[in-house]
Amino acid sequence: MDEGLEQSWWANMPHELLREVLLRIESSEAKWPRRRSVVACAGVCRTWRLIIKEIVKPPQLSSNITFPISLKQPGPREHLLQCFIRRDNGTQTYYLFLSLSSALADDGKFLLAARKFRRPTCTDYIISLDADYMSRESNAYIGKLRSNFLGTKFTVYDVQLPHSRANMAKSCSTKLVNPKQVSPKNNKRDDVLVLRNKAARWHEQMQCWCLNFHGRVTVASVKNFQLAALPVNGHAEPQEDDVILQFGKVGKDLFTMDYRYPISAFQAFAICLSSFATTVACE
């Protein structure tokens, strides 16, 4: 068969069918090293390249995470990007997946892994693109979460220090949620972002304080929380339901993590990891 004729058949495939094929290829990849399949599709011809460019966009525009760089790009503005975390207590490892369906638990697309390492004066959570190689020397290393000895203060470190660094202070004042304050380390910047717990509401029928996770959390836990932005430097008051990050339990060692603009998947994952930390001051 003439090679040029065969290529023209692929190039002239109906756009609707071609788009569906490429969407399936984009969503079927489960691990980072195989993302080259998406790039290979873009190299077939101009038609394929144009459609791939429509599909593969930053999370803020596509609600998709295709390449590792997307992990440090802001999430979508209009809605929460749904993910989930699996915990392995035996190895103290946490796995972040992108949800591929509306189900609370599915196979998902692997995004990140983190492992807990105890130090004499602190605890580190090494965050990596490779679940099998958790080391700062690895090319897959993208950052870490560090807590102080008491487990009351957390700092997120990006591999690009010092500008991509943030401080988190965790309080033990309530058992409803784990209150947090999150802000960039350089508090003089005008674009400072402060996140605080969304206030729980009293549920008359259940006779308890509750948060509305819209079905994304099914198990009561002290780890469950919702974070919303606070007005800073005269900015307008955010809407009551503008949740930036929510995290909650849905089963044994299974948790949902949903986030949106302006934080990234990496930042959201690091914040949620702080909920797994043992707080010496509260024991």
Tens-level pLDDT at each residue, the chain (283 residues): 445 544 566 667 676 777 776 667 666 666 554 566 677 777 777 777 777 777 677 787 777 787 788 899 999 988 899 999 999 999 999 999 998 777 666 678 899 999 999 999 999 999 999 888 888 888 889 999 999 888 888 999 988 633 334 555 443 332 333 445 555 454 455 567 888 888 878 877 777 778 888 888 888 888 889 999 876 555 544 454 589 999 999 999 999 999 999 999 999 999 999 999 876 555 4
pLDDT at position 72 is 92
DSSP 14: -
Q: Where are the alpha helices (DSSP H) in 74-173?
A: none
Backbone CA torsion sign across 125, 131, 133, 136: negative
CB 43 within 8 A of CB 52: no
Q: Which residues pair with 158 in a beta bridge?
A: 143
d(C-alpha 203, C-alpha 222), whole Å: 17
Task: Indicate the angle between helix axes 46-55 and 15-28, nearest 10 degrees.
Answer: 60
pLDDT at position 162 is 36
Class of domain 68-282: alpha beta
> Going by C-beta distance under 8 Å and a sequence separation of 6 or more, which residues neighbour residue 16?
none
Domain ranges of the chain: 3-56, 68-282
d(C-alpha 103, C-alpha 120), whole Å: 41
Backbone CA torsion sign across 118, 119, 124, 130: negative
pLDDT at position 75 is 92
